[in-house]
Amino acid sequence: MSFRLRNIPVLSRVGADRADDLRTDIDAAITGWSDAQLLRVDHRNQVLLAEGRVVLTAAVEYADSPPADAVFLGRLADGGQAEGTPGGGRHVWAVRAALEPPPGDSGETTTVVDPRRTSHPFDDVSAQLVASALALLNWHDSACFSPIDGTPTRPIRAGWARRNPLTGHEEFPRIDPAVICLVHDGADRAVLARQTVWPPRLFSLIAGFVEAGEAFETCVVREVAEEIGLTVTGVRYLGSQPWPFPRSLMVGFEAVADPDEPFAYRDGEIAEAAWFTRDEVRAALQAGDWSSQSDSRLLLPGTISIAREIIESWAYNDADGVGEG
């Protein structure tokens, strides 16, 4: 039985206008800075969260104008707008800086979270802002020099590109595509696997990077064969999600395999894999995630990952009456 994703993966959700036209409009950026909001991301890629929302502070408290290393994330559709700001909505920028709680007593409890590992929920706006900020800031951290001649490059386009000042050559953020696949038997069982670097009981889906000259579907077949030795058919696209740790795009699939075919761990990445029934997976989902203190024999990824959404969508497919699409 095939299935569809029940929800849009967390980091794929849209809550703000990316406003790409403003990336080259320096005058608008300067004008909008006076009323802009700022997202701080520390050197560990952590952010501040308050009641499901990422903490944003006034940009002018950080600098009088957009710093060279700030990245423009878009525009909030909240009606808050500096006079004369084109397009409406406050601008949002991000910087690599120490985390600071909002000034004054807001009455909200703030929490430092690592988005990659957190079990805290994000609203749609926060998810989009955090995904974009991490992707851009991580790219800038590793793109300070030209890959062609080693010349130090400078950020341009409000942080969405870098330019070699000697040649004028521009570089844009790199994205590494990867596939992630739930392998099932077409009925009531699915494969989950544990990487060699993961502690016992932590399981997830088969995933791997797309190689040069390779299609997504071909990559799924290859990765499953390399990691657990199964031959899959019926490869079908489910959805995608940015995974800015540091710069991946996770492309989700389902595929079908024969439970009678033995596992073979050919590339050394997987320590163990097993077929789990739908009931077993549901019980694990109800027990929490990797961060929980549950004594369940099976712990699954948190809500921030598309892996969780794929697993939940398969596990509750028959319960929801969501069949093949």
Domains of the chain: 10-142 (no CATH), 176-320 (3.90.79.10)
Distance CA 32, CA 91 (A): 6
Q: Split the chain (325 residues) into runs of 10 and give each run's mean pLDDT.
A: 93 92 87 95 95 93 95 80 50 96 75 87 92 97 96 96 97 96 97 96 97 98 98 98 95 98 95 97 92 86 95 86 44
Phi–psi pair at 191, nearest 5 degrees: -90, 135
The pLDDT of residue 30? 84
The pLDDT of residue 319? 63
Distance CA 197, CA 200 (A): 9
Beta strands 248-256 and 176-184 are: parallel
Cis check: omega of the bond before 246, within 30 degrees of 0: yes
Tell me the C-alpha to C-alpha distance, in Å, between residue 128 and each of 8, 80, 273, 274. 12, 19, 33, 34
Distance CA 134, CA 66 (A): 18
Beta bridge partner(s), residue 94: 39, 71
The pLDDT of residue 27? 86
The pLDDT of residue 65? 93
Distance CA 197, CA 269 (A): 8
The pLDDT of residue 305? 94
The pLDDT of residue 85? 37
DSSP 3-state assignment of 280? helix
Taken in order 21, 26, 31, 33, the sign of the CA dihedral is positive
Give the number of residues written for the chain.
325
